[in-house]
């Protein structure tokens, strides 16, 4: 060890006010003073290794989690073993909102890669959002956004064909990578074909075939999990120009 890093430095490094995700996360719309109050509330960070659970269905709900680094999937498992991936979450997105309703989590949250989350004790968040109007509003927006997102997935699952679903998925990923300062056209998927299939209500073989088809048609270049989108308008056309 060459030098001792002051504790304050470490804390500032992980504070909301210094976090480059704050525009996507809970601090959005807060003024600097309010962000400081939020900082105090975010007690601890937690590292989750790839494939490990952040929480499990049935766990007592105590906190929501903001993703600092890495990515997650959430899934629901039925008694008979069938499971459904309900979402993929990226940095700046919030996990755990499902737990508020019953005080217990109703799904599993699993890291797709080594990740880190900010732990936000929920009762303290409610307390602070009674005092800070902009925090309250931003939190409500985040919950509402989740509801709107879910409606989009229902639309996808209920009325789109396989290739449309995959196109919608790729465009959505592209947009979210863009919002995080990454390339809109080239990215690395952290989930398997099976997980994509579960999310899209398809079998992994169907996902794989759809990828191959897109490649043949010059829409994307696929190399395993590495995706390069070659024709964004083409993908969008796939979505909207439906016969019926």
Partner DNA sequence: GGAGCCCTTTGATCCACGTCAATACGATTT
Partner DNA sequence: AAATCGTATTGACGTGGATCAAAGGGCTCC
Nearest residue (CB) to DNA, 89 versus 206: 206
Question: Could you give the string, one character per residue 160-189, with x where binding to DNA holds by CB under 7 A and - elsewhere?
Answer: -xxx--------------------------
Question: DSSP label at 180?
Answer: T
Binding positions for DNA, 210-229, rule CB under 7 A: 211-212, 222-225
Q: Which range in 23-31, 77-85, 191-199, 229-237 contacts DNA by CB under 7 A?
A: 191-199
Please tell me whether residue 204 binds a copy of itself under the rule CB under 8 A: no
Nearest to 168 by CA among 227, 232, 76, 90: 232
Partner whose binding site includes residue 2, from DNA, a copy of itself, none (CB under 5 to 8 Å by kind): none
Number of amino acids touching DNA (CB under 7 A): 22
Partner whose binding site includes residue 83, from a copy of itself, DNA, none (CB under 5 to 8 Å by kind): a copy of itself
Tell me how far the alpha carbon of residue 37 is from its chain's centroid.
25
CA angle 199, 91, 122 (to 5 degrees): 95
Count CA within 13 A, CB hemisphere, residue 63.
16
Please tell me whether residue 193 binds DNA under the rule CB under 7 A: yes
Count Cβ atoms within 10 A of the Cβ of residue 87 and give its class: 0-12 exposed, 13-18 middle, 19 or more buried.
middle
Sheet holding 72-77, edge to edge: 53-55, 108-111, 72-77, 83-89
How long, in residues, is the chain? 244
Nearest residue (CB) to a copy of itself, 37 versus 106: 106
Measured between alpha carbons, how far is 96 from 70 in angstroms, rounded to an integer?
Answer: 16
Please tell me whether residue 88 binds DNA under the rule CB under 7 A: no
Binding positions for a copy of itself, 110-149, rule CB under 8 A: 126, 129-131, 133, 136-137, 140-148
Measured between alpha carbons, how far is 75 from 16 in angstroms, rounded to an integer?
Answer: 28
Q: Which range in 15-23, 29-37, 199-207, 214-222 contacts a copy of itself by CB under 8 A?
A: 199-207
Measured between alpha carbons, how far is 89 from 148 in angstroms, rounded to an integer?
Answer: 15
Please tell me whether residue 190 binds DNA under the rule CB under 7 A: no
Minimal distance in Å, beta carbon 117 to a copy of itself? 18
Which residues make up the interface to DNA (CB under 7 A)? 161-163, 192-194, 201-209, 211-212, 222-225, 244
């Amino acid at each position: 060890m060459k030098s001792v890093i002051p504790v304050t430095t470490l804390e500032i490094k992980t504070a909301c006010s210094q976090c480059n995700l704050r525009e996507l996360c809970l601090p959005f719309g807060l003024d600097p003073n309010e962000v400081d109050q939020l900082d105090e509330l975010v007690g601890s960070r937690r590292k989750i290794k790839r494939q490990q659970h952040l929480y499990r269905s049935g766990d007592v709900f105590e906190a929501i989690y903001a993703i600092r680094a890495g990515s997650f999937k959430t899934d629901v498992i039925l008694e008979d073993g069938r499971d459904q991936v309900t979402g993929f979450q990226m940095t700046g997105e919030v996990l755990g909102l499902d737990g508020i309703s019953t005080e217990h989590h109703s799904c599993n949250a699993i890291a797709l890669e080594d990740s880190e989350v900010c732990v936000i004790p929920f009762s303290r968040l409610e307390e602070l959002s009674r005092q800070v109007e902009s925090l309250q509003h931003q939190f409500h927006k985040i919950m509402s956004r989740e509801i709107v997102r879910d409606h989009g997935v229902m639309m996808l699952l209920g009325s789109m064909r396989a290739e449309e679903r995959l196109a919608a998925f790729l465009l959505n990923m592209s947009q979210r990578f863009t919002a995080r300062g990454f390339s809109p056209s080239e990215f690395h998927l952290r989930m398997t074909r099976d997980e994509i299939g579960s999310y899209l209500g398809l079998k992994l073989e169907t996902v794989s075939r759809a990828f191959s088809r897109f490649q043949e048609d010059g829409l994307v270049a696929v190399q395993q999990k590495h995706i390069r989108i070659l024709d964004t308008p083409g993908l969008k056309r796939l979505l909207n120009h439906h016969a019926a």
